[in-house]
Amino acid sequence: MWRSAVIADVTVQTHRTRTLTLAVDGWMTHRAGQHVDLRLTADDGYQAARSYSLASGPGEPPQVTVDRLPDGEVSPYLVDIAAPGDALELRGPVGGYFVWSPQNSPQPPVLLIAGGSGVVPLHTMLRARLHAGDDTPMRLLYSARSWDDVIYRDELRQASSVSGVTVEFTLTRDIPPGWSGHTGRLDAAMLTELSWPATDRPDVFVCGPTRFVEAIADTLVDLGHDPAAVRTERFGG
Amino acid sequence: MDPVDGNALAGPLGTLFGQDVGDVTGVCAGCGLSSLLAETRVFDQAPGLVARCPGCEEVLATVIEMPRAVRLSLPGFRYVDIPSRTL
Amino acid sequence: MATVSRGFGGRRQDPAGGDLAARTPPGQYLTDGFPVLSAGPTPGVRLEDWAFEITGGREPVGWTWEQFRRLPSERFTCDIHCVTRWSKLETAWEGVSLDTLLAPVAHDAGYAVAVSHGGYTTNLPLTDLLGGKAWVAHTYAGQPLHPEHGGPARLVVPHLYFWKSAKWIRGLRLTAQDEPGFWERAGYHDYGDPWTEQRYASA
C-alpha cells in the first residue's frame, strides 16, 4: 500500500549522497535494517519506484540516505532536485530478515560489513544499539573508495569511542596523506585480522554492491562462519 | 544482470498470512535446498520479480504488480513454511 | 490519483512531436537508452555450441550457427515497446525472417513456444511469426548482438510487447494448442498487443 510522504529535511552527506527526512502520516516505527520503497510520479503520470534502506534509527522519523548513481533515474532526482516540501510516495517499512534489534538478553557479537553506501542499514543497527544503551559487542568494517566517500564519518568516529564498539575503515582508491586506517580490498587476511573468529559465532550482516557482498560472504564461509549466520543485502547493479 | 536479495520481495508482498515474507522458508522442488525467501536471488530488472533458488537457480517464485492485485506464483517450491505467529 | 513529485521527469524523451507521439503506444514513454531486462542470469552461449531447432512439426529441423548465418539475412528497423513502459523508436537489426526458418517445416500447428537458453519461454500464434513480422536477430546497430540483449540471437517480434521477443533463443516448439510461456503463466497477457495495452492476464 502506497502512502503519501513529504520531504521534511535534506542533509548533504558527501559529494554524492544526501539524507532525506520524510514526514509520513501514521508512521509507527521501524527496525534497524528494514527498507522502504519510494515512488516518484511525473506530472504526466510516469512513475518510477526504487527500494532504499531506512537510514534513521528505530523511533526516529523515517530517513533515507541516497547515493547518486551515474545512470540512475530516481537517485539523481532525490540527490540533486528534491527539496523540503516536495511530495512522493512510500511503501513500508518492510523486511524481517536483514534486521537487528537490541534485546534485554545477551546476544552474539555483531559484525557489520559495508561496501560503499551499503553502510546505511548497518549504521542504523549501530545507532539502534547506542540509543538503546545495549552492550552487544558490535564491529563495523567499512570499505569505501576514498575518505570523501565515507558516509556518516563523524557519527561513526564518535561511535568507535563507545565501549564495545569498533569501527574500521578501509579505503580502496584514494588514500589521503597521513591516513592511518586500512587500505585495499577487504580480503581474507583483513577479515581475519579485523573480525571475530567463527568460533565466537558472531551474527554477520553484509551490505553493498552484489559483487562485494558475494566475495565477502564466500570468504566468511571459507573462514568457517556458519552460512546461516551471514545475512546479506545486495544492491544489484 | 545481477540479482538482488530476496528482501526485495517484501516491498510488493509485505506480509503473507501475517508474517514478513522474508521469514517464509521454502524447499526447492528442483534441488531440495531449503532457503528463506529473503535468501533467494531476485532478478528485479524485469517485468516482474523473479526469485531463483540460491542452489540451482530454478525459478521459485514470481511477483507481478497488477492494477488491482499483486500476483504471487510459486512454480518451483515443493512447499513453503510460514512460521507460526509468536506472541 | 498518485502524488506528483515536483520536478521529476524520469529518464525519458519528450514525445512532443506529433509523429513521435503517434508512434508511442498508450501508457508508454520513449527512451534513448536500451534498458536491459532479464528474468535470470545471462547465459553464456558459445557460437560452436549454438543451435536453433524447430520441433513439433513432422520432422525436427535445425541449424548450427554456421548454417544459420548462411541463411538470407534481412536488415529491418522497428519500434519496440516493453511492458515496463519504455518504448524505443527506430531500432536497427539484422536477422533471419521466421518465414525463412519455418519454410522447410511441414506442420499443422497454430501456435509456437519460443524456447531460450536459461529456460525462458514465451508463446505466440504462428500467424504473428509469419508474413515478415518476426525475425531471429543476430545483429543490433551493426554489431553482433550483445549477450545482455539476447546474443548470440534473439527473437524480435516488434508488434507485440517486447517480452515476446525472447532473448537467447534456441528454438521454437510448434503446438496445436496455445501454451502459455514464462510471463504468460505468471500473470502477463497471453497475446500482448501494446496498442490496446494488453499488459496483464486479468486482475
Nearest CA to CA, how far is A105 from chain B (Å)?
A: 17
Average of pLDDT values for B2-21?
Answer: 80
C56 dihedral zone (left: phi>0; alpha: psi -120 to 50; beta): left
Confidence band, pLDDT 50/70/90 cuts, at residue C66: very high
Percentage with pLDDT > 70 across chain A:
99
Q: Mark yes or no for CB contact C203/B67 under 8 Å.
A: yes
C179 within a domain of the structure (yes/no): yes
Average of pLDDT values for C165-186?
Answer: 98
Domain that holds residue C101: 47-196
Q: Mark yes or no for CB contact A236/B11 under 8 Å.
A: no
B40 within a domain of the structure (yes/no): yes
Report the domain count for chain C: 1
pLDDT in tens, A101-156: 999 888 999 999 999 999 999 999 999 999 999 999 999 999 999 999 999 999 99
pLDDT in tens, C23-38: 999 999 898 889 999 9
Write down all domains in chain A, each with its CATH number in brackets.
Answer: 3-94 (2.40.30.10), 110-234 (3.40.50.80)
Domain that holds residue B43: 4-81
Is residue B69 less than 8 Å (CB to CB) from chain C?
yes
Q: Mark yes or no for CB contact A73/C5 under 8 Å.
A: no
* pLDDT at res. A105: 85
ipTM over 0.90: yes
C201 within a domain of the structure (yes/no): no
B45 within a domain of the structure (yes/no): yes
CATH of residue C137's domain is 3.90.420.10
- CB contacts, 8 Å: C83 with chain B: 47
Q: Mark yes or no for CB contact A46/C4 under 8 Å.
A: no
B39 within a domain of the structure (yes/no): yes
Q: CA-CA distance, C161 to B63, in Å (whole number)?
A: 19
Helices marked H in C77-116: 98-102
Retrieve residue A69's grid coordinates. 548513481
**Cβ neighbours around C175 below 10 Å, total:** 17
Nearest by Cα to A81 from C8, B6, C13 = C8
- CB contacts, 8 Å: A210 with chain B: 2-4
C141 dihedral zone (left: phi>0; alpha: psi -120 to 50; beta): left
The answer to whether the CB of A52 falls within 8 A of the CB of A1 is no
- CB contacts, 8 Å: B2 with chain A: 210-211, 234, 236-237
B87 within a domain of the structure (yes/no): no
Percentage with pLDDT > 90 across chain C:
86
pLDDT in tens, A81-93: 999 999 999 998 9
C30 within a domain of the structure (yes/no): no
Confidence band, pLDDT 50/70/90 cuts, at residue A235: confident
In the three-class reduction of DSSP (H, G, I as helix; E, B as strand; rest coil), residue A77 is classed as helix
B76 within a domain of the structure (yes/no): yes
The answer to whether the CB of B26 falls within 8 A of the CB of B34 is yes
* pLDDT at res. B87: 47
Q: What radius of gyration do chain A's Cα atoms show?
A: 18
* pLDDT at res. A73: 87
C166 within a domain of the structure (yes/no): yes
Confidence band, pLDDT 50/70/90 cuts, at residue C13: low
Q: CA-CA distance, A80 to A90, in Å (whole number)?
A: 19
* pLDDT at res. C1: 59
Of A91, A94, A236, the CB nearest to B44: A236
Average of pLDDT values for C1-10?
Answer: 83
Q: Mark yes or no for CB contact C37/B47 under 8 Å.
A: yes
Confidence band, pLDDT 50/70/90 cuts, at residue C15: low
Report the domain count for chain B: 1
- CB contacts, 8 Å: C10 with chain A: 40, 42, 46, 48, 73
The answer to whether the CB of C99 falls within 8 A of the CB of C132 is yes
B50 within a domain of the structure (yes/no): yes
* C97 has a pLDDT exceeding 60: yes
- CB contacts, 8 Å: B3 with chain A: 210, 234, 236
